[in-house]
Amino acid sequence: MRQLRGRTVLITGAADGIGRGAALAFASEGSRLALVDIDAAKLEAAGEEVRRMGAECWTRVVDVSSAEEVRAIADAVREEFGEVDVLVNVAGVCIVSDIADTSLDDWRWIMGVNLWGPIHTIREFLPGMRERRRGHIVNVSSAGGLMPFGIIGAYSTTKAALVALSGALAQEVYQDGVRVTAFCPGLTGTSIVEKMRFHGYSRDRMLEFWARLKRASMTPEKTGCLIVDAVKREKEVVVTTFGGKAAVMAHRLFPALVRVVMRRGKKLNGMLYR
């Protein structure tokens, strides 16, 4: 979709991080924006930032894990803007925990946001795209969706599922004129660590570790620009950052070696224990 001016773009998880970065990037293209998030205060701040850029912007608080809330928002967006041209599923959460220590409630929480959220939005907005034979869906997964990481196993599981969903959907709707991108960021300087749930690991130690990693991470604003680029160039899979690309490539070319290294890495994660 080369021309984004005047197109309606809906972004979930738009209050901060990659969602906010994407909102700024699409606003620069002259798109009309429908921004949704569960954090009302930060969402309104992001909306005001976009409006100051001259973009038409509509904001609503929604929990994407709720099919009913997503359905209501979809109806409201269509009433305000008409059909959505670009859907960007960014909303995501993370749990730092061994699989064995991840409770069913935590599984329901992370699956609800990371996987059911995109499923809900796709079910609402894909039919209109197919009918008009035009549209693009971006599912923000993670480099961790292309190679699993211990201690965030539940997160990697949901993100791998999102990659699979994106790939299958891309095949199904290609002839309908709809494009799908599995967008897999490497290290990105967001606040997701501050919102993580922890079991068996130290939040304070993780925050200290993350503060060091952020120095080499990509900014949310740059990541948002890459999302716009993926839509314009109709890319099916995008991996960001040198580290993310290198890790994914190593996992593809030398899977046995990577498994050995990752098992060793799990032992080194002792520095994050409580």
Q: In this structure, are residues 87 and 135 in contact, taking their beta carbons and an 8 Å threshold? A: yes
Bridge partners (DSSP) of residue 9 are 33, 86
Cα angle at 207 between 206 and 211, to 5 degrees?
Answer: 115
DSSP 50-96: HHHTT--EEEEE--TT-HHHHHHHHHHHHHHHSS-SEEEE-----EE
How far apart CA 153 and CA 99 sit, in angstroms, is: 6
Q: In this structure, is the dihedral angle defined by the CA atoms of residues 2, 25, 221 and 94, taken in order, positive or negative?
A: negative
Q: In this structure, are residues 125 and 227 in contact, taking their beta carbons and an 8 Å threshold? A: no
Assess whether 155 carries a catalytic annotation.
yes
For residue 176, give the 3-state DSSP assignment. helix
How far apart CA 181 and CA 6 sit, in angstroms, is: 21
Tokens standing for residue 237: 């899979």
Q: Which of 155, 174, 201, 273 is catalytic?
A: 155
Length of the chain: 274
How far apart CA 217 and CA 164 sit, in angstroms, is: 25
Bridge partners (DSSP) of residue 243 are none
Q: In this structure, are residues 215 and 247 in contact, taking their beta carbons and an 8 Å threshold? A: no
How far apart CA 59 and CA 115 sit, in angstroms, is: 22
**Residue of 256, 253, 252, 222 lying closest to 240 (CA atoms):** 222
Active site residues: 155
